[in-house]
DNA sequence: TAGTGGTCTAGACCACTTC
DNA sequence: AAGTGGTCTAGACCACTAA
């Protein structure tokens, strides 16, 4: 119990929601009633309620009242980073190839650019303690002397480098699949047809323009990547954009 | 651009953050300065700033100022539900067995109960259009005539039934693994050693007491489950508990 | 028309940081 | 001492909902 009034109110209401005293769809006491109950003003009550709303516990309908949310129980979140959230620590990245590609329709579709543009393909191997951990292919529009391409070529962990600068400006999406390796992957990861690997497709978009910045495929042996996720009540993170 | 002042302020500041005009660690104009700039009062400025803070864009240090967050770029969220967020729609659940177990140490550890207690094991098959989609084993402490056990036995989608009532009171954690099926799974899912399946371990806890309510293992053919996740800026969802 | 939530004002007082 | 963020008050006015 905090000595700050609005936090006390938040804590009280939250407990009643968690204990099941209020059920989804139930209406809370009106703001006027809460003002009287806690002997305070509207702004303090509203501060408490807006905190509960931002955490996904309640929502309000103007003119009607504040209601208990139906909690979103199917959303899970997990931590993932190709370079430093694995079961091992990537300590070396080896550049395998850099190619200017044409005429690979599937990549043009992923990058959402016309086939008149050029695409640069970068392939790399990721090591930990001299063991091959993962193999990745990065595709991005080829723009002569663009800083990103330069960065990818020069630095191992390219996204980390620019991340601090542009992180709020980008949006990342992943698709994870468990498959048997194809010939190319078997060769690079030095695995057999009896191994299972994860393919992680990553699309990075500019949040503002919605344009695709890069598309990449990441191949990793299953034993190096654990997927553990925990439920998160937050419903909408994109409402603010 | 909204006609609501605090939303206009939010929108302005957000744009400057997304455009990279403000960088992580930078300090915002002081609240007094913003009051003058927007010709408004402290409470309105603070309402705007608290919205930005709740969305993970800024944080404040009392006595110093408001700062741009270092965005959390490694957190992804995805939607998952054993029964209705798959690539197919589960339309039938067949109860296979119900057993009272003793002496399986690994399960006692997962459920965090002493070995003097009894455990109930429920196994079920999930179907879609008469095709076997998944197999699951649910473990929970056996409490005679407890409503949960009754529900699991009586109803297919047991967690759905009690979800609305207790969702705010529980916390779910998943571990996803891609493996080759063992003999038991091969038999139930009717798959061969050349198939890849996902094993999803689920632990449900009471948020209040932190006690484990149930532990379950869910086996599904990879083709019926796609894992797609998108980056979420939200850092802390548990701060409120 | 009465009640509800939503926005906003113009102050007050506090604790903290910096100089 | 001056500036910063943090809490809180006591109103005002608005739009919406329901009887």
Q: What does chain B look like in DSSP terms, one character per residue?
A: --SSHHHHHHHHHHHHHHTTSS-TTPBPPPHHHHHHHTT--HHHHHHHHHHHHHTTSEEEETTTEEEE-----SEEEEE--TTTSSSS---EEEEEEEEEE---HHHHHHHT--TTS-EEEEEEEEEETTEEEEEEEEEEE--TT-HHHHHHHH-TTHHHHHHHHHGGGEEEEEEEEEE---HHHHHHHT--TT--EEEEEEEEEETTT--EEEEEEEEEEGGG--EEEEE-----SSTT-
> Is A19's Cβ below 8 Å from some Cβ in B?
yes
Q: Which residues of chain B have a CB within 8 Å of the CB of A51? A: 240
Kindly indicate the confidence band of residue A115, based on its pLDDT and cuts at 50, 70 and 90: confident
- DSSP character for A5? H
**Minimum-distance residue to C6 (CA–C1'):** A62
Q: Tokens for B38, please give them.
A: 């927007």
Kindly indicate the confidence band of residue A151, based on its pLDDT and cuts at 50, 70 and 90: low
Q: How far apart, in whole angstroms, are the C-alpha atoms of residue A228 and residue A224?
A: 13
The lowest-confidence range among A129-138, B16-25, B226-235 is B226-235
- Whether the per-residue pLDDT at B150 is higher than 70: the answer is no
Strand D contacts (Cβ < 7 A) comprise A 4-7, 39-44, 47, 61-64; B 28, 30-33, 42-43, 46, 49, 60-66
User: Among B94, B95, B121, B92, which residue's Cα sits nearest to residue B106?
Assistant: B121
> Is A233's Cβ below 8 Å from some Cβ in B?
yes
Strand C footprint nucleotides (protein C-beta < 7 Å): 3-12, 15-18
**Mean pLDDT of all residues in A32-43:** 97
In this prediction, residue B1 carries a pLDDT of 63
Residues 160-199 of chain A whose Cβ lies under 8 A from any Cβ of chain B: 163-169, 171-180, 196, 198
A171: enclosing H helix or E strand: strand A170-179
Q: How far apart, in whole angstroms, are the C-alpha atoms of residue B158 and residue B98?
A: 15
Contact of B227 with A175, CB cutoff 8 Å: yes
Dihedral in degrees, nearest 10, Cα atoms B70, A156, A139, A189: -120
Contact of A38 with B137, CB cutoff 8 Å: no
Give the three-class secondary structure for A38: helix
> Is A20's Cβ below 8 Å from some Cβ in B?
yes
Residues 70-99 of chain A whose Cβ lies under 8 A from any Cβ of chain B: 70-71, 73-81, 85
- Whether the per-residue pLDDT at B145 is higher than 80: the answer is no
Query: Angle at the Cα of A237 (from A171 to A160), degrees rounded to 5?
Result: 35
Higher pLDDT among residues B87 and B48, named by residue: B48
**Minimum-distance residue to D9 (CA–C1'):** A41
* Contact: B55, A237; criterion CB under 8 Å: yes
Mean pLDDT of chain B: 87
- Whether the per-residue pLDDT at B162 is higher than 80: the answer is no
In this prediction, residue B51 carries a pLDDT of 96
Kindly indicate the confidence band of residue A117, based on its pLDDT and cuts at 50, 70 and 90: confident
Top mean pLDDT of A23-27, A174-178, B126-130, B208-212 is at A174-178
Kindly indicate the confidence band of residue B88, based on its pLDDT and cuts at 50, 70 and 90: confident
Q: How far apart, in whole angstroms, are the C-alpha atoms of residue A82 and residue A174?
A: 11
- Whether the per-residue pLDDT at A155 is higher than 90: the answer is no
Q: What percentage of chain A's residues is helix, strand, coil (to nearest 5)? A: 30, 35, 35
Cβ density class B87-104: b for 16+ within 10 Å, e for less = ebebeebeeeeeeeeeee
Q: Please, which residues bridge with residue A200 across strands?
A: A176, A218
Higher pLDDT among residues A209 and A143, named by residue: A209
Q: Which residues of chain A have a CB within 8 Å of the CB of B208? A: 18-19
> Is A236's Cβ below 8 Å from some Cβ in B?
no
**Mean pLDDT of all residues in B103-128:** 89
| Contact partners, residue A68, CB within 8 Å, separation at least 6 | A17, A22, A23, A24, A25, A26, A27, A28, A57, A58
Distance in Å from D1's C1' to B28's CA comes to: 24
Kindly indicate the confidence band of residue A41, based on its pLDDT and cuts at 50, 70 and 90: very high
Query: Angle at the Cα of B78 (from B75 to B83), degrees rounded to 5?
Result: 150
């Amino acid at each position: 119990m905090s000595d700050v009034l609005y936090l006390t109110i938040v804590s009280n209401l939250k407990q009643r929601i968690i204990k099941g005293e209020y059920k989804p769809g139930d209406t809370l006491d009106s703001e006027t009633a809460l003002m009287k109950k806690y002997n305070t003003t509207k702004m303090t009550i509203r501060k408490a309620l807006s905190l509960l709303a931002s955490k996904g516990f309640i929502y309000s309908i103007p003119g009607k009242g504040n209601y208990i949310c139906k909690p979103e129980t199917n959303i899970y979140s997990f931590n993932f980073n190709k370079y430093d959230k694995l079961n091992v620590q990537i300590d070396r990245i080896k550049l395998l190839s850099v190619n200017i590609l044409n005429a690979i329709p599937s990549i043009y579709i992923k990058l959402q650019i016309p086939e008149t543009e050029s695409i640069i393909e970068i392939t790399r191997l990721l090591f930990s303690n001299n063991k091959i951990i993962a193999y990745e292919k990065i595709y991005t529009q080829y723009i002569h002397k663009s800083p990103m391409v330069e960065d990818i070529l020069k630095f191992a962990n390219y996204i980390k480098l620019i991340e601090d600068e542009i992180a709020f400006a980008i949006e990342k999406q992943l698709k994870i699949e468990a498959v048997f390796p194809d010939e190319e992957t078997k060769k690079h990861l030095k695995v057999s047809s009896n191994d299972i690997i994860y393919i992680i497709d990553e699309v990075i978009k500019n949040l503002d323009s919605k344009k695709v910045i890069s598309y990449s495929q990441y191949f990793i042996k299953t034993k190096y990547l654990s997927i553990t996720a925990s439920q998160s009540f937050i419903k909408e993170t994109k409402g603010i954009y």
